[in-house]
A and B are shown apart, each in its own frame.
Chain A
Amino acid sequence: MLANAKQFIMRVLTPFLLFPLAAAAQAQQSGTWREVLNMTPGVTEVSRQIYDLHMIILWICVAIGTAVFAVMFYSVIVHRKSRGYKAANFHESTTVEIIWTVVPALILVIIAIPATKTLVNLYDTSDAELDVKVTGYQWRWQYEYLGEGVQFMSDLSSSNDQIYNREEKGEFYLAEVTEPLVIPVDTKVRFLITANDVIHSWWMTDFGVKKDAIPGYINETWARVDKTGVYRGYCAELCGQGHAFMPVVVHVVEKDEFAQWLDDKKAEAETLRELASQQFSLEELMERGEGVHNRTCSACHQTSGEGIAGVFPPIKGSALALGPVEDHMNIVVNGSPGTAMQAFGGQLSEVDIAAVLTYQRNAWGNDTGDVVQPVDVLMFKQGQ
């Protein structure tokens, strides 16, 4: 950490002066700042109700604030010693105190009515036509269509090069994913939200949905979207170093398009299961494994496989990755309880696990020459 602090101080001093220019250029190109002022009404009934509530309370506050500040500034300007104004000496009035206790209380009662209505609506998860389970992981979302046998991971797709300013940032920087959630329009979708490790929060601004994803809990919420399109949101609860890097993206499509998509996904899942029984060459596995590692493991173990000292152990040169395959497979499939190393057995397909194991055992000079096949992983899982 000491080294880190030193390095940090060095970095503060040098690029600091160059920043404004680069950043200004970038801001110009994004050109969206005019939109960034107020809440947007969104695309569900609930989100519009929330928006209305927000605007009502905002204007009430503006009105009261204007009145109070007007009196205050009037006094500051007119009742000035420098103008020879003599102070009055009144300092009590029960009537006035009662008025300014009761009037605000009444205003609050009036606002409480729409607020209560909106909340009741927001909590009504009954009669859903589609159930989607959302699971938060460090640092990705998993979506599962309950009863359909379809599930997948949704990772950030903005590259590390964009994050570390080695490449120009795309339009949807940090708001784009490898595979978005797809739901049908005009359909009441119920979201069952949970987490696998720490607390996350699934936030879809345009739907008026924000619900914490808590390990051990399944929270319910819902949305009926009335406009097709691509919607973008974020993880809202601090969940570790990747907190800013696990956006939520939802595609809302026509109903028949959704049915078609779901069929395709089912077929895809079938193919993946078949692939698990095939044999792959070292090269094939290495190539696939590199992808899996960089997508799923590198947030902690780094693309270089070197980890972060004191927090995440290196895989490069690790005794576990050079030792018996079973031990290596065990920690990846089952995780290491009580640490950030999660069980990937349920998150990744057998093919991906086989590939990432092969990759880790042969990359960065680990060179064990071991080839792990998907069947090995399947056997291991079944043997448990």
Chain B
Amino acid sequence: MAHGPAKGIGRWLFTTNHKDIGTMYLWFSFSMFFLGGFFAMVIRAELFAPGMQLVDPNFFNQMTTMHGLVMVFGAIMPAFVGLANWMIPLQIGAPDMALPRMNNLSFWILPCAFIVLASTLFMEGGAPNFGWTFYAPLSTTYAPASVNYFIFALHIMGASSIMGSINIIATILNMRAPGMTLMKMPMFAWTWLITAFLLVAVMPVLAGAVTMILMDINFGTSFFDAAGGGDPVLFQHVFWFFGHPEVYIIILPAFGVISAIIPTFSRKPLFGYSSMVYATAAIAFLSFIVWAHHMFTVGMPIAGELYFMYATMLIAVPTGVKVFNWVTTMFRGSISLETPMLFAIAFVILFTIGGFTGVMLALAPADIQYHDTYFVVAHFHYVMVAGAVFSGTGAVYYWLPKWCGRMYNEALGKVQFWLAFIGFNIAFFPQHFLGLAGMPRRYADYSLQFADWNMVSSVGAFMYGAAQVLLLYNVLSTVIAGKKVTEPKTWEGAEGLEWTVPTPAPYHTFTTPPEVK
């Protein structure tokens, strides 16, 4: 029968418990978030004023590259895998994940991958400096020697993601409680099911891309080397065939979180549940057929250019459906603004702004001007940071009481929210202006007309960084000394199986499956 966790470090090293593994994923992601955030602070400090002050341009490029890699693969993706580990079994009434040993493995190889990646910073020749998109031949012929470590690290991360996704698919398809049909599942489980399929489909493509790079560098092939009969543009096609679905991999689980928080604090069921499910599936499908909108300036034939423009514009439709449904869920609800709800509302606003700039970028001729400028940087930070990070933060506040049986400090949560929200907008809204006025991205230094908005942006970024320190403090003080809570249902309006188990959630839950009517 049920027994408690093992003692000491062994509990964490050998655990197969979905809650323990979820916790480890979340803490790992949190620490990577701070590492990636530190890199971002270096970038914004260097860009505070024109001229080179703190770092040399090569180190600057290492910072932008590492910032992107660490945030995407180290902070955001593991954060959502952590949430999935914790919440999916609880939401579908399963006792644990379907493949608990693999679960342990898929977590523990992640820190190894990031130790390898971070160690490149101290290598001769420096860390990868070719951008997180690692376009050949900058990442092959012209790369620092550490590129081989980067490839190895990426392979491990890919393996971890694939294992995590298989586990989630197996859990959702096989372990739902009796009566929990697919169309009764919470949106978070739905979005993760679809995300997991995306991951299984595209992670091998990424692995293929890095393997070809590895071969070009070390074994004399010329997949991407024009001089040897290869094609540098091929790399971009392969990369974005992975890279575009990747951005939906990041955002879809965030949609799931928001679809849980908004109904709870509106005290009203999610509007248009089934159309939300279909919209998610539609977005996932479209994400496979639009990749070359990242490449409107590579000189594609006009037919290709037109196709990718039209297909990309289509994505706006299901995405719009999602936003309209959230807003309608709030409409005539009975709304209260606890911290998770603040983050969810901010998510809707900021994600919608990012979506709008996305439609603008979809227009190929306009993209000729926007491409590779700060306009793009602003766009993807609005969808990634406001999308993934705001929803992730909201999720932490939302489920933290369930996880640890303690309530966070609401006042501090609100202060943290406003600091993050205002800081974020000061940091990234002006970047739209910079891009439109002609400042390219990944610039270590810039002309004088860009000086003012860059300074504003840096100030905002420091504010946003400070907000995260506050978040860390709030989480730590809650876990250690927060006010104890015991009622199963933390939030008045919350629905779902996770709110039927005791608070804090015991080590083993649903050892006998619940009945779902």
Contact = CB atoms under 8 A, between A and B. Distances in A.
Contacts, number: 348
A101 B443 CA distance: 40
A71 interface: yes
A46 B455 CA distance: 33
Interface string B290-316: 000000011100100110011001101
Nearest to A61: B356
B143 to A, nearest CB: 10
Contacts of A337: 227
21 contacts: A23-B451, A23-B455, A27-B452, A36-B437, A37-B437, A65-B356, A72-B327, A81-B334, A86-B334, A112-B309, A119-B302, A123-B302, A138-B142, A164-B52, A209-B368, A210-B297, A234-B439, A234-B443, A237-B372, A240-B138, A243-B443
Interface of A: 1-2, 4-5, 8, 11-12, 15-16, 19, 22-24, 26-27, 30, 32-33, 35-40, 46, 49-50, 53-54, 57-58, 61, 64-65, 68-69, 71-72, 75-76, 79-82, 85-93, 96-97, 100-101, 104-105, 108, 111-112, 115-116, 118-120, 122-123, 138, 162-165, 169, 171-175, 197-199, 201, 203, 205, 208-212, 214-217, 219-220, 232-245, 308-311, 337-340
B166 interface: no
Given A36-B453, A37-B436, A234-B440, A165 B268 contact: no
Interface of B: 42, 45, 48-59, 61, 121-127, 129-131, 135, 137-138, 141-142, 144-145, 226-227, 231-233, 266-275, 297-299, 302, 305-306, 309-310, 313-314, 316-317, 320-321, 323-324, 327-337, 345, 348-349, 352-353, 356-357, 359-360, 363-366, 368-369, 371-373, 433-434, 436-453, 455
A310 B127 CA distance: 12
A210 B444 contact: no
Nearest to B57: A241
B433 A50 contact: no
A208 B330 contact: no
Nearest to A80: B335
B433 A37 contact: yes
B51 A88 contact: no
B130 to A, nearest CB: 7
Contacts of B50: 23, 26, 169, 173-174
Contacts of B455: 23-24, 27
A275 B275 CA distance: 76
Contacts of A311: 58, 125-126, 144
Contact of B122 (A5, A12, A49, A174): A5
A162 B51 contact: yes
A24 B360 CA distance: 33
Contacts of B48: 19, 23
Given A116-B306, A244-B446, 7 more contacts: A26-B448, A33-B452, A57-B360, A91-B329, A115-B366, A197-B141, A308-B58
A68 B352 contact: yes
Given A108-B316, A244-B445, A208 B335 contact: no
A165 B51 contact: yes
A65 B330 contact: no
Nearest to A176: B447
B349 A93 contact: no
B105 to A, nearest CB: 32
Instruction: Kindly list the 3 A-B residue pairs having the minimum CB-CB distance in the complex, ordered from nearest.
Output: A216-B226, A23-B49, A219-B299
Nearest to A32: B449
Contact of A165 (B53, B55, B145, B317): B53
A33 B456 CA distance: 12
B61 A243 contact: yes
A38 to B, nearest CB: 5
A2 B53 contact: no
A197 B368 CA distance: 23
B57 A242 contact: yes
A244 B299 contact: no
Contact of B58 (A11, A215, A217, A241): A241
Contacts of A85: 332, 334-335
Given A30-B448, A86-B334, A88-B332, A238 B442 contact: yes
Contacts of A235: 440
A57 B359 contact: yes
Contact of B364 (A39, A115, A245, A309): A115
B502 to A, nearest CB: 26
A159 to B, nearest CB: 12
Contacts of A175: 447
A1 to B, nearest CB: 5
A24 B352 CA distance: 34
B440 A1 contact: no
Given A26-B49, A208-B369, A241 B56 contact: yes
B366 A53 contact: yes
B54 to A, nearest CB: 5
A91 B270 contact: yes
B302 A172 contact: no
Given A76-B337, A205-B438, A169 B57 contact: no
Contact of A208 (B268, B317, B368): B368
